[in-house]
Amino acid sequence: MLKTIKTVPEPEKRLWFRTILRYRCSVIPAILPRVLFCSGFGLLIVLLHFWGFPVSLPILSSIVPSIVLGLLLVFRTNTAYERFWEGRKLWGNIVNTNRNLARTIWVAIPENTPQDRDRKKEALRLLLAFAIATKQHLRREAIDGELHGLISRDRYEKLQHMNNPPLEVVFWLADYLQWEYERQRLSIYQLTALLRLVDILVDSLGACERILKTPIPLAYVIHLKQLLLLYCLALPFQVVRDITWATPLLVAAISFAVFGIEEIGIEIENPFGRDLNDLPLDEICRTMQTNIEDLMSLSPQSPRSGFSRYDDKDKPLNGEFDSHDGSSSGKLFPTP
């Protein structure tokens, strides 16, 4: 018999009115000066009209056709969101590739001594170091203490003088894999598969750099801003005769809409920063850290390994049972 599952309303549906009144994360702080300027200009036109100056010019409505301005704004916003979404997909690719690399390294490389496990833990921490170094590289920030505890002091100091720290971290990771292959701990097929995953990390890094270093063409940005300002300043001349004192309010509402759409595109075109509307890279890195720490708490039960059947205290992580009496022996495979 199927159970009836009670669905929980989504936050956006449950808090709709609260969302539309939110100031934090909105574009209001950025566009408010422009909106007030256009509204004040509209008030000036109303005063001139009240004093008898011939400022009513409905013909100005044809200067910047609304449909042309709308298409330009849509193109601007869509282009920015495409960059934002591509950045999110690339970071999702980094997360998944890191998980696959970590799992394969932890399971496929045998552990015959405690030192083998320490080297594997160091390699898994390099995966997290790559993500953090990539985050800081995309934000154009210097290497800071966030990498402490993940890499050795010598490596940490070396990263501080590198032009592209994530590439150096990837080099150390590939060097470790090659070393394990030369020790005959990896087959050529396993090495090839792991290096292919490393290549995916480098490809994702390059794609993120492409987004970062290829902004919207400046000529397009300048022209759009000029058209927006011309459109908003021409509005009072078009409507002052019909709505008089309500002109500033109408100009404020329309300028709020068009400037807000433009500002949204500006906010999300570089998704790697620290703005509230950028990608939550800090949270993504914390998720990766949790995944890797959880993985390192497990012990691979491979018959190729001697040490790895146990945790660091030489106790079974889960009470494995013998096949006949059901007692917990702490061993799944016989000692080779």
Instruction: Report pTM.
Output: 0.81
pLDDT value for 23: 83
Per the structure, the count of domains in the chain is 1
Task: Encode pLDDT of 269-315 as tens digits.
Answer: 999 999 989 999 999 999 999 999 999 988 877 655 544 444 444 33
| 108 within domain boundaries | yes
Tell me if 253 is assigned to some domain.
Answer: no
CB atoms within 10 A of CB 161: 9
Asked whether residue 316 is assigned to any structural domain, the reply reads: no
**Rounded Cα distance, 258 and 229, in Å:** 10
- Judge whether 141 lies within some domain: yes
Q: Which of the residue ranges 131-140, 199-208, 233-242 would you say has the lowest mean pLDDT?
A: 233-242
Quick check: is 231 in a domain?
A: no
Quick check: is 55 in a domain?
no
C-alpha span between 281 and 200 (Å, rounded): 19
Residue 175 located in a structural domain: yes
SS3 content of the chain, % helix, strand, coil (to 5): 70, 0, 30
Read off the pLDDT of each residue in 237-251 and give the average, rounded to a whole number: 92
Q: Residue 111: what pLDDT?
A: 86
pLDDT band (50, 70, 90) for residue 2: very low
How many whole angstroms separate alpha carbon 11 and alpha carbon 321?
46
Say yes or no to pLDDT of 240 above 80. Answer: yes
> The tokens of 174 are what?
């590939």
Q: What is the pLDDT of residue 299?
A: 81
Query: How much is the pLDDT for 114?
Result: 87
Cα–Cα distance, 311 to 330 (Å, whole number)? 11
The arithmetic mean of pLDDT across residues 41-58, rounded, is 91
Q: Judge whether residue 232 has pLDDT over 60.
A: yes
Tens digit of each residue's pLDDT (9 = 90 or more) over 15-33 = 777 888 888 888 999 999 9
Evaluate whether 137 touches 165 at the Cβ level (below 8 Å): yes
- Amino acid occupying residue 269: E
In the three-class reduction of DSSP (H, G, I as helix; E, B as strand; rest coil), residue 100 is classed as: helix
Token digits for 195?
Answer: 């290096």
> Under a CB-based contact definition with an 8 Å cutoff, are residues 271 and 87 in contact?
yes
Domain that holds residue 184: 77-216+269-298
Structure-model confidence comparison of residues 48 and 149, the more confident one: 48
Q: In the block, which residue shows the tokens 């906010």?
A: 267
Structure confidence at residue 228 (pLDDT): 93
Task: Confirm whether 93 is domain-assigned.
Answer: yes
